[in-house]
Structure 1
Amino acid sequence: MGNEDAVFYSRVLTELTLSFHIIYATVGVGIPLMIMIAQWVGIKKQDEHYILLARRCTRGFVISVAVGVVTGTAIGLQLSLLWPNFMQLAGNVIALPLFMEIFAFFFEAIFLGIYLYTWDRFENQKKHLLLLIPVAIGASMSAVFITIVNAFMNAPRGFDLVNGQLINVSPVLAMFNPAMPTKVAHVVVTAYMTSAFVLAAIGAYRLLKGSNHLYHKKAVFLMMKLGLIFSIATAVMGDFSGKYLAEYQPEKLAAAEWHFESEKGAPLILYGILDNGEVKYALKIPAALSILAHGLPNAEVIGLANFPKDEVPPLYIHYLFDTMVTIGMWLILVALVYVAGIWKSWPFIQTRWFHWLIVLGGPLAVLAIETGWWLDEVGRQPWILRGIMQTKHAATISQQVDTMLLLFVGLYLVLGIGSVVVLIRMFRKNPVEQELADRQAEKAGELT
C-alpha cells in the first residue's frame, strides 16, 4: 500500500468514524434539552405523562452517551494516528477547545449521574429539574467546543506561520475565528431539531403499532412543536452559513451550487446533472444564490472559474447540499401542517399515512445531519487546514490503515447493533401503560 492509499484509507476511516459518531453525538446534545422541556411542562401542568416522557427519554439518553463516549474517543485517537502531520502543526492551537470539550463532558456526566439517581427524592420536583440544567449546558458546550476545532480548520487564525511552523499562537483568537459563530449555531440548533423529530418519530411509530395511549399523542405533539421551532431556526442559520461561505470560502459555495462563472443575479441551482460542464435538468431559482450569498438579488457571486483547478472541491457536494436543503424544507412543512392541524382539528393528521410521514421525519433528520457534515468536510477539500496544509500532506504514511479500517468497522457494527437491541429491549420490557400503572400504585401506597 502506497502513500496515496494511506491517505485514501485515512479519509475513509475518519469519515466512517465521524458519520457514526455524529448520530449519537447529535442526540446526545439535543435529548437533554428535550428532557428538560418535557419535565418542565409536566411540572407546570401537573401532568404525569410529560414527567414519564422525561424519565423514559433519560434512560435512552444514557445509552447514547455511552456509545458517544466510545466513538468520540476513537476520533481523538484517529486524529493522532491518522493525521500526525496536522496534529504536529496545529496541535498547540486546537488543544484548548479539545480540553474544554472534555471538561464540558465531565460536567455533563457528573450532573447526569446525580439527576438519574435522585428521581422521586425531592418533594419539590422543580429542584430535581434544576439538576438537568447543567446536563443540558454541558452537552451543548461539548458540541460548541468540538465544532470550534472544525471551524478553525475552515478558517485558521490566531498564529503566525514562519518556515512551516505556527508561532505566536493565541488559542483564544484561534477559537473565535470567522467560521465559529455560524458553524456552532448551526450544529447546536440542528442537534435540537434532529432530537425532536427522532422522538416524535418514535411516538408516532407507537401509535401506528396500535397504541392509542394519550402519552404517545402528547409526546408527538410536544416534539413536533419543538421540531417546527428548531427547523425554522436551522433554516435561518443556514442562511447565515451561506453568507459566511460567500465571504470566506467562496469556492465551497460555488462548488455546492455548480456556479462556474461569476455573475450578478446568480440563480440557485437545485438537483440536475452535469454533462460536459453544462448543467442540465436542474431547478433554477432566479437571483436566489445572490440573495443567499449577499442578501441582494443583484449581488455578484464568484464562480469556480476564478479558482485554481487543484483547489476546487469535489462537485458532487452539490447533491449533498440539495439533500440537506430538501429534507430541511420537508421537515418544516410536515411539522407546520401537524401543529396547525392540531389547533384547527384537521382529521387527516391523525390518519395512518400522516403518522408515517412523522415516522419518516426521524431518519430523514439524521440523514440531513449526515449530508450536512459530509458537505462541510468534503467541501473543504483539498485542504485539511484551509490555505495552509492540504489533506494529502497531513496523513500518516503507515501501511496498516486498511487493517485499522476493518477493525473499526467491526467495532461500529457491534456498537450500533448492540445499542439498538438494548434500547428496544429496555422499552419493550417497560411499556408506557405498565409504567404508568406502577407509578399510580406507588402514589396510592404513599397516600395510604
Structure 2
Amino acid sequence: MIISYPNWDAAMFAYTISAHILLVSLSMGLAITVTIAEFLALRKKDKYYDTLAYKLSKALVIFFAVGTASGTVMAMELFLFWPTFMRLVGEVSMGPFYVEVFSFLLEAIALPMYVYFWKDFKNRWEHWGLSLAVTIGTYLSAFTVTEINAWMNTPNGFNISEYLASGGKVITGVNPFQPFLTVSTAAEELHMSGAVYYAGIAMIFGYLVYKYMKTTNASEKMIYRRGINITAVFMILDIIYLGITGSNELSTLLVIEPIKYAALEQDLVPTTYGAPEHIFGILINHHPAYYVNLPLAQSLLAYPFTFGHGYIPGLINLTTYHGVTDYAVWPPSFVHDTLDLMVGFGVLMGFFWLYVVVQYFRKKDPLSQKHTLIGGLVVAVMGVFTMEDGWYTAEVGRVPFIIKSPTPGGILVNGHMYYGVMTIAQAASTSPIVFPLGIAIIAFYIIIFPITFYYAAKVMKLSNVEEDLKLGEEDIIKEEERKNKGSTGTKAGMR
C-alpha cells in the first residue's frame, strides 16, 4: 500500500500535535495549580498547601523541558511537512509566532527562578509573583498558537483574491497585525483555553485522587485532599464555562463558517424552522443514516430566543455552484460523530460534578465515598479524551483545506468559486524525507512520553512527608516573622 504525501504529512502532524497538546495542557494545569496552592498557603498559613505547591512545581519543570523539545519537533515539522503553508504564514501571519517565542522566554526565565531559588526569597509574595509569571507565560503560548489556528479558519491580512487569481504565487496587501484578530478568534480562544485547562487539570486531579486512594498516611491524605479540592473546584467552574463557550463557538460557526457548521450538525439542506438534531449517524451516498432523530432540537438550540425560527445552512446549497454540487469540499462526515461524542462526554462530566456539588451541600464528604473517587478517575480520563476529540473535530472539520475561505460559504474570484485558500494537498511537502522523519517522530514520542510521566511521578512522590511538611511549616513561619518584624535579612524557607 502506497501512502500519499499529503496523507502522511497530515497523519504525522496530527500525531505530533495530539501528543504535544497533552504536554501543553498539563504544563498549563500545573502552573495554575501551583499558583493557587502557594497563594492559599500564604493566605491560610497552611503547610499542606505549601508542600503541594513545591512538589507540583518540580513536575512542572520536567513537563516544561519535554514540552520545549516537543515544540521544537513541531516547529521542524511545520517547515519540512508544510513548506507552501509556511511560506504564506511567514509573509502574512508570523506575528503570533513571535509573541509565542516571547511567552516561552517568560516561562523559561521565571520557572527556574521560582523552583530553584525557593529559599532565597525574603518575601514569599515576591516568590509567588514568579509563579504568576509562569502561569501567564504558559497561557500566552497556547493563546498565540490558537490565534494562528483561528487565522487558518478565517484568514485575513493579505489580498486573498489576488493570491487565488495568481494560483498562490502573488502575496500582496500584507497587514501583519490583522491575523492577531480574525472574526473567529474570540470564540475559538474562549473555548479552546477552557478546554486545554480542563484537560490539564483533569490529569492532575486524576493523579491526586489515585494517590489519595492508595496512601494510608494521614499527612499525605491532607496534602492530596487540598490538591483535589483545588482541581475539583477549577473543573466544576470550567465545565460550566465550557458549556457556555462551546455553545457560543457553534453559534459563531453558524454565521462565519456555515460549511463547517453544516458538516458538524449533518445538515444537508437549509431550513428556517424545525431543523432536527441528529445524534450520531453516518452519510451513505451523501444521505444521513443510522442516527437518532430529535425533531426541532437543533433549531431550538441555535435560536432559543426566537423559539427555533432562524436560518440553518445546508451542505448541498453551500457547495453547489452553477447547479453542480462539489462533494469533494465537504469535510469528512465523521466529524459529526466526534462532535456528538465530545458533547456527550461533556454532559456526563457535568452530571458527575453536579452530583459532587449536591453531596457537598448535603454535608457529605465526596472523598469518603469510594464510588465518587472511582468516578473522579473516570472523569479525569474522560476530560483528556474529550479535549483531544474536540481538537480533532475542529481540525478535521476544515478538511480538505488547511486555510479556508475568508467569507462564509466561499469566495468568488474570476468566475470561480473557492471554498478555501489552500488545500492540504497544496500545502504538503512531497520530499521523500518526510517518511523517515515521520518514523523518527513516532519513535520519539513512544520513548519520551512514558519516561516523562515516570520521572514526574518520582519527583512528586512524598518520600518523606513529615520532612516535607516541616520545611513547608518553616516557610510559613519565616514569612510571618518577616511580616511581623519587617525584617529584610531573614530567608523565607529552608528548602
Matched, 1:232 2:240: yes
- Matching residue within 310, 332, 342 for 1:299: 310
Q: For residue 194 of structure 1, what is the amino acid of its counterpart?
A: A
What is the aligned partner in structure 2 of residue 284 from structure 1?
Answer: 294
Quote the Cα distance in structure 2 between the aligned partners of 1:44 and 1:52. 14
Alpha-carbon deviation of 1:406?
1.1
Which one has the largest radius of gyration?
Answer: 2
Corresponding position of 1:267: 276
- TM-fit CA distance, 1:390: 0.8
Query: C-alpha displacement at 1:98, in angstroms?
Result: 0.8
Say if 1:34 and 1:195, in contact at 8 Å, map to a contact too. Answer: no
C-alpha distance in structure 2 between counterparts of 1:124 and 1:444, whole Å: 12
Tell me the residue number matched to 2:482: none
TM-score with structure 1 length normalisation? 0.93
**Bigger shift: residues 109-118 or 345-354:** 345-354
Deviation at residue 343 of structure 1 after TM alignment: 3.2
Pick the aligned partner of 1:338 from 324, 344, 356: 356
Structure 1: gaps (5+ residues)? none
**How much does 1:425 deviate?**
2.4
Of 77-86 and 255-264, more deviation after overlay is shown by 255-264
Is the Cα–Cα contact under 8 Å of residues 384 and 390 in structure 1 kept in the other structure? yes
Q: Is the 8 A contact 1:272 1:281 kept in 2?
A: yes
- Which protein has greater RCO, CA pairs closer than 8 Å, 6+ apart? 2
- Asked whether the equivalents of residues 32 and 139 of structure 1 are also in contact (C-alpha less than 8 Å), the reply is yes
Give SS of 2:94's match. Answer: helix
**Secondary structure of the residue that 2:278 maps to in structure 1?**
strand
Give structure 1 regions of 4+ aligned residues with deviation exceeding 6 angstroms. 441-447
Worse-superposed segment, 438-447 or 50-59: 438-447
Q: Mean alpha-carbon deviation: is it higher for 270-279 or for 217-226?
A: 270-279
| Partner SS state of residue 373, structure 1 | helix
Distance 1:444 1:246 in 2: 57
2:49·2:223 contact (CA, 8 Å) conserved in 1?
Answer: yes
Report the CA distance between 1:302 and its aligned residue.
0.5
Equivalent of 2:396 in 378, 386, 395: 378
Residues 330-409 of structure 1: pairs in structure 2 closer than 5 A: 330-346=348-364, 350-386=368-404, 387-409=420-442
Distance 1:372 1:38 in 2: 29
CA distance in 2, matches of 1:110, 1:424: 24
Shift of 1:78: 1.0
Between 387-396 and 116-125, the greater mean CA deviation after superposition: 116-125
Match of 1:167, SS?
coil
> Contact between 2:48 and 2:472, CA under 8 Å: does it hold in 1?
no
Name the CA shift for 1:403/1:51 in 2 (closer, same or farther; >3 Å).
Answer: same
Structure 1 segment 155-166 matched on structure 2, within 5 A: 155-161=154-160, 162=162, 163=166, 164=168, 165-166=170-171
- Per-residue deviation at 1:84? 0.8
Tell me if 1:89 matches 2:100. Answer: no
Q: For residue 64 of structure 1, report the CA deviation from its aligned partner.
A: 1.3
Change in Cα spacing, 1:293 to 1:91, as seen in structure 2 (3 Å) is farther
Going from structure 1 to structure 2, the CA distance change for 1:84 and 1:438 (only over 3 Å counts) comes to same
Could you say what secondary structure the match of 1:54 adopts? helix
- TM value normalised by structure 2: 0.84
More helix by share: 1
Counterpart CA distance in 2 for 1:43 and 1:201 is 25
Return the match for 1:197 from 194, 199, 202: 202
- Partner SS for 1:269: strand
- Verify the 8 A CA contact 2:157 2:175 in the aligned structure 1: yes
Q: Report if the CA contact (8 A) 2:158-2:171 is conserved.
A: yes
The answer (yes or no) to whether the contact 2:259–2:315 under 8 Å persists in 1 is yes
Per mean C-alpha deviation after superposition, the further-off stretch among 190-199 and 39-48 is 190-199
1:144 aligns with 2:137: no
Quickly say closer, same or farther: Cα 1:288–1:142, change in 2 above 3 A.
Answer: same
1:185 aligns with 2:181: no
